[in-house]
Amino acid sequence: MNFRRTRPQQLIAIGSVTIFICVYSVTWPSGILNQKEDQDASPATLSAVQEHLNIVRYADMVRWGRNNQTSSSFWASSILSDDRRIYFHETTGRDHLNLRQLCAVESTAKENPSRSVQIFFQTDHVNVTSAPFELVLKTYPNIAVLLINAKDYFTATPLERWYSRGVWRKSPYKTEHFSDYIRILSSFKGGGMYMDLDFVTLKPLDADIFRNFVPEEDNAVLTGSSFHFEKGHPIVRKIMTYLASSYRPKEWAHSGPAMMQSVVLKYCRKKLPEPTYPLFLCPEIKVLPKKYLYPYTFADWKRLFVTNVSSSDPIFESYAVHTYNKLSKNEPVLVGSDQLYSQIARVHCPVTYAHALTDLEVDFF
Ligand SMILES: *[C@@H]1O[C@H](CO)[C@@H](O)[C@H](O)[C@H]1NC(C)=O
Ligand SMILES: *[C@@H]1O[C@H](CO)[C@@H](O)[C@H](O)[C@H]1NC(C)=O
Ligand SMILES: *[C@@H]1O[C@H](CO)[C@@H](O)[C@H](O)[C@H]1NC(C)=O
pTM: 0.84
* Atom 11 in ligand 2: residue holding the nearest Cα: 127
**SS3 category, 274:** coil
Strands 192-195 vs 86-89: parallel, antiparallel or unpaired: parallel
d(C-alpha 128, C-alpha 204), whole Å: 26
d(C-alpha 359, C-alpha 336), whole Å: 12
Q: How many CA atoms lie within 13 A of 124 on its CB side?
A: 8
CB distance 117 to 144 below 8 Å:
yes
Topology classification of domain 8-299:
Spore Coat Polysaccharide Biosynthesis Protein SpsA; Chain A (3.90.550)
Residue 213: phi, psi to the nearest 5? -130, 155
**SS3 category, 161:** helix
d(C-alpha 50, C-alpha 53), whole Å: 5
- The verdict on the CB of residue 310 being under 6 Å from ligand 3 is yes
* Atom 5 in ligand 2: residue holding the nearest Cα: 130
62 CA distance to ligand 1 centroid (A)?
A: 15
d(C-alpha 276, C-alpha 131), whole Å: 46
pLDDT in tens, the chain (365 residues): 333 333 334 433 444 434 333 333 333 333 333 333 333 344 355 665 666 789 999 998 888 877 765 666 777 778 888 999 999 999 999 999 999 999 999 999 999 999 999 999 999 999 988 779 999 999 999 999 999 999 999 999 999 999 999 999 999 999 999 999 999 999 999 999 999 999 999 999 999 999 999 999 988 889 999 999 999 999 999 999 999 999 999 999 999 999 999 998 888 876 655 544 445 567 788 889 999 999 999 999 999 999 999 999 999 999 999 999 999 999 999 898 999 999 999 999 999 999 887 775 667 88
- The verdict on the CB of residue 306 being under 6 Å from ligand 3 is yes
Neighbours of 133 (CB within 10 A): 25
Helix or strand (DSSP H, E) at 102: helix 99-111
The confidence score (pLDDT) of residue 172 equals 97
306 CA distance to ligand 3 centroid (A)?
A: 8
* Atom 12 in ligand 2: residue holding the nearest Cα: 127
d(C-alpha 149, C-alpha 121), whole Å: 9
DSSP letter (8 states) at residue 89 = E
The confidence score (pLDDT) of residue 19 equals 39
**Nearest ligand, measured from the Cα of 69:** 1
The confidence score (pLDDT) of residue 320 equals 98
**Nearest ligand, measured from the Cα of 97:** 2
CB distance 238 to 253 below 8 Å:
no
Beta bridge partners of 320: 201
- Alpha helix positions (H), 131-218: 133-139, 150-154, 160-165, 174-190
Question: What number does the ligand 3 atom closest to the CA of 307 have?
Answer: 1
- The verdict on the CB of residue 308 being under 6 Å from ligand 3 is yes
- The verdict on the CB of residue 129 being under 6 Å from ligand 2 is yes
Neighbours of 321 (CB within 10 A): 24
| CA distances to 21, 41, 116, 344, 353 from 75, in Å | 17, 17, 10, 32, 30
Question: What number does the ligand 2 atom closest to the CA of 125 have?
Answer: 13
